[in-house]
Homo-oligomer: A and B are copies of this chain.
């Protein structure tokens, strides 16, 4: 929804080639979607261009009309995941005044997102090896936002005092581990149960 006038921004992308017609647009999207499924399922190295293009229903050469290299699609997927996750969480916590409540809602939204997009999740993990830069950007951007939120809450007296950066990483770590338990280790628990337990830990700690 958020209408960012024109696609000019792109910040620092190096597009192999942007499509100029509706037809091209559709093809590019098909390839991107196929890449997400195939790379998510088989991993970066076992996902060949051939696999991706055949999943997309186009010829192999078509791939290179829209992407300069295999790595480029991958990077784009990581970026997309970042945008999506941040957007999802922002939406889920919008308007929640209390930080602890926001923490809970955000965790819930994150876990639901992860369950809905297991492929994208794996792709981010693999970025550490395929595209460390994208991996960095993903987490640093996330951590920055987290830090600001915690700082504000601390100033407002909504949470106790403590180094926000370490806390941000610790909280991200909880979300990540629970997401992983869900999709990599196929936990049977409901997201609601997980969130309740985790929230209690985050809010009150382990002390009796």
Using CB atoms and an 8 Å cutoff, list the residues of chain A in contact with chain B: 43-45, 99-100, 103, 122, 125-126, 128-129, 135-136, 139-140, 157-160, 162-163, 165-167, 169-170, 172-178, 180-181, 184-185, 187, 189, 193-194, 197-198, 200-208
Contacts and interface: CB of A to CB of B under 8 A. Distances in A.
A192 to B, nearest CB: 11
Given A140-B185, A160-B204, A206-B203, A167 B197 contact: yes
Given A129-B126, A166-B178, A166-B198, A158 B208 contact: yes
- In order of increasing CB-CB distance, the 4 nearest A-B pairs are A173-B177, A205-B205, A173-B173, A166-B197
A129 B205 CA distance: 33
A136 B100 CA distance: 32
Nearest to A100: B206
Given A45-B45, A169-B181, A207 B203 contact: yes
A103 to B, nearest CB: 7
Contact of A43 (B129, B140, B169, B204): B129
